[in-house]
A and B are shown apart, each in its own frame.
Chain A
Amino acid sequence: MADSPADTDVLAPLALDALHRRLGARMVSFAGHAMPIQYEGIIAEHLWTRGHAGLFDVSHMGQLLLPLAADAALEAVLPGDIKGLGEGVLRYSLLMNETGGIIDDLMVTRRARDLYLVVNGATKAGDIAHLRAHGLDPQWRDDWALLALQGPEAVDVLDRLVPGVAALRFMRGGAFAWEGQDLWISRSGYTGEDGFEISVPVAAAEAFAEALLAAPEVRPIGLGARDSLRLEAGLPLYGHDLGRHTTPVMAGLAFAISKRRKVEGGFPGAEIVLRELLDGPRQKRVGLSIDGRLPAREGAMVFAGDTQVGMVTSGGFAPSVQAPIAMAYVDAAVAGDGTALSVDVRGRRLAATVVPMPFKPKHYVRKGAQP
């Protein structure tokens, strides 16, 4: 058997490190930290989250603050409407480069006193440098941990601990408190399920996580299941499905270009991206359903007949679908739903079909929906 991941002793421990180890997590190196990849097993954790509530530690992600007055300057580095963002509203956005590529994907929330950004763990240092180079001075709040509680029973559990959170709707956030500690909670996540992301001071993080885990509906979930859950939900992962050579249009993320910004432009790569919106991209991110049981992983070549038409950027066995699934970039001509393609895995050609994403229906609680 090939060697297992390198030891994790040298990495900076995060707020819940001791808790993860006590819970029997297998820790791996991820984004410069020791993080839990799994506890009882990826499939069990994945299915538990879809059926109940899973607690994820995502404290490796970067939580950054900008002053409210920085909204115009922030619009110069991303294509979202930040000036017009309502208080307590989250917006998914993209830090972009001059060629229309993606430097990172992130969430921006306008709060009462600041703009709150959540960026990817592996890219946070680069993002901070990039923002500084563009005249912004983000404050990195590594004194906050970030937890996610995801799944159909998340709302019941969290509302018992923090009354009032059930009133939040998808992509809305608010200030709450638990035992005298300030929390920032949004109804959002990365699993395709209803759920919440909770920013909690590091000093209170372990006690708060333990309080959540004391609920019978909640189990701890590692990064392994986080990846399989997001893949089934059709959500791209930066560094794999998104990067400096993929544009928002190629990635199917044109919704992140706000209406006003489509008219006004003024974000990096605007000319390229707005032209691509009209003309269509050369390649598109698609979902692939793969015949059989053998997973196709990142880097697997995609073929139409004998012609290579693209590459898998994320792939694996989908526990809720009970089959291998993948995301790939393929030539626009073969990106239509239902197109029959094949994927090369160790010299074997697996039959694959372009399918719409998500692979599993999402269960978000949107504005206007009945509680």
Chain B
Amino acid sequence: MVERRPLLNLATHLLLALGLACLLLPLWLAFVAATQDVAGANAVPMRWLPGPYFLDNIAAAWTRADLGARFTTSLIVAVGVMAGKVLLAMLAAFAIVFFDWRAKAVVFWLVFVTLMLPLEVRIVPTYAVAANALRPFQAILDVTGLTGLVETLSGVRIALEWRMLNSYTGLILPLVATATGTFLYRQFFMTIPEELVEAARMDGAGPLRFLRDVLLPLSRTNMAALATIMFVYAWNQYLWPLLVTTEPQRSTVMVELSRLVPRGDGLPEWNIVMAAALTVMLPPLAVVVLMQRWFVRGLVATEK
């Protein structure tokens, strides 16, 4: 379309530049602080240009917060959650879309309703479950009287226990259920023409074979999109790791980062805290920048 508006174009640039400067300003200030010594970071008025201490501060943050070990933990958790979500979402959506199955509407709703139960609203009891993941089953046995029955019959008292606190299982498992991912896959699977399923059946492929040979390769882009979002999601988790890891040497980078800032009135060493904050932001940022295309697609698709 021919439209020459040099003035408006200039205004557009100015507005976008200004808007983004505001958006990115906090990050710039954090970076500047991370390049100062303690005095520089606390200087009034604030410094706007970087100083020479960036690597020193990163090194200090790295050792002080034991970031090497924390990064490993966070990486295992993020990859574990990501892989788990992608896999569970695919399997569940496959069952819901491609099977002639009475219960599928019920299962779909059971998964759907979890959208309305964010961790924040069921936090105390979820913690209790993480302390013993078999607690629900124990409770069912107790209430139905089976525990008592077995005890009188065999003399053995059933005490199911699976402590998940301070473990990778505890950090990962509660986060891998995914309504969003299941929807994304369901949405995609419903666009597969049904003749393709029929052709596969005529060719002699059973359901699992169809999943492996046809659906899996076809859903690669969806998988990449979902994986990107879920990695960012998992890496950035805070509340759950905070609760589940009671021992500092088990925690994730996010929890450790928050511990760098003193709770009381003491003045934090902002230069080191900012260096740590920037380091911790890096992995998800890298993922988003490198996978921008899939990331945007996934973000938009999960809400349809």
Our verdict on whether A and B bind, yes or no, reads: no
Q: Which residues of A contact B (CB under 8 A)?
A: none
Q: Which residues of B contact A (CB under 8 A)?
A: none
